[in-house]
Amino acid sequence: VARTYVVTGSASGIGRSTGARLEAKGCRVIGVDRRDADVIADLSTPSGREAVLDGVLALTDTLDAVVACAGVAVPTPLSVRVNYFGAVASLQALRPLLARGDQPRAVVVVSLAAILPTHDELVAACLAGDEERAVGLAAELGASEERALIYASSKRALARWLRQTASTDEWAGSSIPLNGVAPGVIDTPMTAGVLADERIRESVERQVPMPLGGVGAPEAVAALLDWLSGAENVLTTGQIVFIDGGADAVLRGDTGW
């Protein structure tokens, strides 16, 4: 029987590539995005997050997997709203549909950036569920030299949420693996501007060193998302799998082992 998936961020990049891969395997894919999707919803707003659940429920009351890819890489509060609050809201809202599914799984796209420097209070405000405080802190950072901390903090908070949540009754206790992937630099519309400018590209490559062949393709991430969200994954949960050409190994070495 074909599995039914929700893929957020399905209109572009990693989400688009993942949806195409799953459809080619015969899965039913319900795409969620701001544009060009089965369910049009803006994950940066509370009403948009409600529209995700309403839109999906209009199409199905059961899901076998959710792959949450939607995200933005901007040095503004929008990164906090979409990457943390939008991703968490999508997974929480769709969890009851997963609970009715067959071998249900959820995966969320974190980022290698989650191990880069972050802003502790911003991360804490996200995890406390205090969106207005988080957005306020991000607005202050956005006006400073430290604006790069916003994206990294949104992804660090997402990683911590995942680690805190995966083993709970609602997820592992309900037989729903919940994992993340942490891509290095992937060639998608998100990074096109950065990669096109040689000077910026070189600085990104220094910040995210990828000795295994450099910048990756979205299809590589789609393959990993496919496995983590598929029925074959019966024992992996609470993990954030780096798909980064070796960047994590270069940057963190053997720390934590």
Ligand X SMILES: NC(=O)c1ccc[n+]([C@@H]2O[C@H](COP(=O)([O-])OP(=O)(O)OC[C@H]3O[C@@H](n4cnc5c(N)ncnc54)[C@H](O)[C@@H]3O)[C@@H](O)[C@H]2O)c1
Fill in the per-residue mask, 44 to 63: x = in contact with ligand X (CB under 6 A), - = not in contact: x-------------------
Strand-pair partners of 121:
none
**Considering the rule CB under 6 A, would residue 149 count as an interface residue with ligand X?**
no
Rounded-to-integer distance, Cα 245 and Cα 221, Å: 11
SS3 call for 108 = strand
Per the CB < 8 A criterion, the answer to whether 35 and 73 are in contact is no
Torsion angle of the four alpha carbons 184, 187, 189, 193, in this order, in degrees rounded to the nearest 10: 90
Could you say which of 7, 73, 91, 98 contacts ligand X (CB under 6 A)? 73
**Considering the rule CB under 6 A, would residue 18 count as an interface residue with ligand X?**
no
Choosing from 5, 85, 151, 242, the catalytic residue is 151
- Complex with ligand X: residue 7 or 63, whichever CB lies closer: 7
Could you say which of 20, 23, 28, 42 contacts ligand X (CB under 6 A)? 42
**Considering the rule CB under 6 A, would residue 183 count as an interface residue with ligand X?**
yes
Is 151 assigned a catalytic role?
Answer: yes
Q: Cα–Cα distances in Å, from 110 out to 23, 26, 197, 204?
A: 23, 26, 25, 18
Strand boundaries in the chain, DSSP class E: 4-8, 28-33, 39-40, 65-68, 105-109, 178-183, 240-243
Could you say which of 7, 88, 109, 228 contacts ligand X (CB under 6 A)? 109
Could you say which of 3, 4, 7, 15 contacts ligand X (CB under 6 A)? 15
Q: Residues interacting with ligand X, by CB under 6 A?
A: 9, 11-15, 33-35, 41-44, 69-73, 82-83, 86, 109, 111, 183, 185-186, 188-191
